[in-house]
């Protein structure tokens, strides 16, 4: 008899916990939100006039790289990566006109294996 009473008590306890949990879950309020999805054209820039500037004291290191992105990229954000496998992304600044310059002080010339540029117009 005591064994049946223990089982009955356990069932009642579990049902009570479930009912309380349901009551708390039913009280949650989630505000209305909006989400969207869409498409747009992504067009590239034409990169010209690339200039690598070596360090004046140690020509095995690169001080900067500059390039012209054309009138379409006169404002925005530009970054360049010169080492493909986990290389640093260097921030670039607008130098003159449409020419961007990226300071790479200390980058060894022998490690350079690419010039990858990412540009955004805003």
Tell me the range of 39-48, 72-81, 84-93 where mean pLDDT is highest: 84-93
Rounded to whole angstroms, the Cα distance separating 114 from 85 reads 10
**Which residue bears the tokens 């306890």?**
13
Can you tell me the mean pLDDT for 61-65? Answer: 96
- Whole-number average pLDDT of the chain: 81
Nearest alpha carbon to residue 103 among 69, 68, 62, 75: 62
Go through the chain and tell me how many residues it has.
Answer: 122
Whether the model clears a pTM of 0.75, i.e. scores above it, the answer is: no
Can you tell me the mean pLDDT for 8-24? Answer: 60
Bridge partner list, 87: none
- Containing H/E element for 117? strand 116-120
> Are residues 83 and 109 in contact, defined by beta-carbon separation less than 8 angstroms?
no
Q: Quick one: pLDDT at residue 3?
A: 60
Q: Quick one: pLDDT at residue 22?
A: 59
């Amino acid at each position: 008899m005591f064994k049946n009473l223990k089982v009955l008590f356990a069932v009642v306890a579990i049902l009570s916990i479930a009912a309380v949990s349901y009551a708390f879950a039913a009280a949650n309020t989630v505000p209305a939100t909006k989400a969207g999805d869409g498409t747009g054209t992504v067009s590239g820039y034409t990169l010209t006039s690339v200039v690598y500037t070596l360090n004046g004291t140690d020509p095995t290191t690169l001080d900067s790289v500059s390039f012209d992105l054309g009138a379409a990229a006169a404002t925005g954000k530009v970054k360049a990566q010169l080492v493909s496998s986990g290389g640093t992304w260097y921030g670039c600044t607008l130098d003159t006109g449409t020419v961007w310059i990226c300071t790479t002080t200390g980058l060894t010339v022998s490690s350079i294996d690419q010039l990858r540029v990412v540009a955004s117009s805003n």
